[in-house]
Amino acid sequence: MTKLSVNVNKIAVLRNSRGGDVPNVVRTALDIERFGSEGITVHPRPDARHIRYQDVRDLKAVISTELNIEGNPIPSFIDLVMEVRPAQVTLVPDAVDAITSNAGWDTIRNRQYLKDICSRFNDAGIRTSIFVDPVVEMVEAAKECEAQRVELYTEAFAAGYNADREAAIAPYVEAAEAARRVGLGLNAGHDLSLENLTYFAERIPWCDEVSIGHALIADALYLGLENTVQLYLRCLASTK
């Protein structure tokens, strides 16, 4: 079954908006694990507007599930990953001023750069994943970058889901099949929600992991955090 990794960035946004330590990111992550999540995802950015580097260190010290650190591999990010040694690092090409991730890597143009970074993390025993658009050529080139997985950027699927879900999922199925064909593991994330997650998982049941933050935390405002985590897990369990 596809695993659920919960991105806790929005918990940090709420904390940072007021100062202090409420809500506490580590305590919330531990609760999310207790509610059934199989991983915790964080995406520290250079401006520390949500998750801070110290949050990453604190989380690694206490969580029992997989820690996935996402980010652009600038020198300080690379140093953090090598220090913390998470289960997985996801390389994302987001600009310093990006509100959120908005594109995948060009794994052809950046092949040698990504290969050097993936090799360093692989040698340290950290699973590497590259964030890509649902384009077969980009998936295939990620294999040549020595990544172990790709994460499909699912914003386009979510945006097109209500208008024509079959058309919206088609490039993702093709990209996912390419990943399986070349021997890459498969993750997915961005704008997946209670509305579209079941269909995504039904069409790509070999997806290893989905990373969900914004929609899940927004749903939790109305449904409660424990109930919401369970609802997302139910979306994935229904595809077995």
Residues 6+ apart with CB under 8 A from 80: 44, 53, 56, 69
| SS3 of residue 46 by DSSP | coil
pTM for this predicted structure: 0.94
Contact (CB, 8 A) for 165 and 141: no
**What is the full per-residue pLDDT of the chain (240 aa) written as tens digits?**
899 999 999 999 999 999 999 999 999 999 999 999 999 999 998 888 899 999 999 999 999 999 999 999 999 999 999 999 999 999 999 766 655 566 899 999 999 999 999 999 999 999 999 999 999 999 999 999 999 999 999 999 999 999 999 999 999 999 999 999 999 999 999 999 999 999 999 999 999 999 999 999 999 999 999 999 999 999 999 765
* Distance separating alpha carbons of residues 35 and 29, to the nearest angstrom: 10
- Bridge partners for 69 per DSSP: 42, 89
- The catalytic residues are 43, 70, 190
* Distance separating alpha carbons of residues 160 and 176, to the nearest angstrom: 18
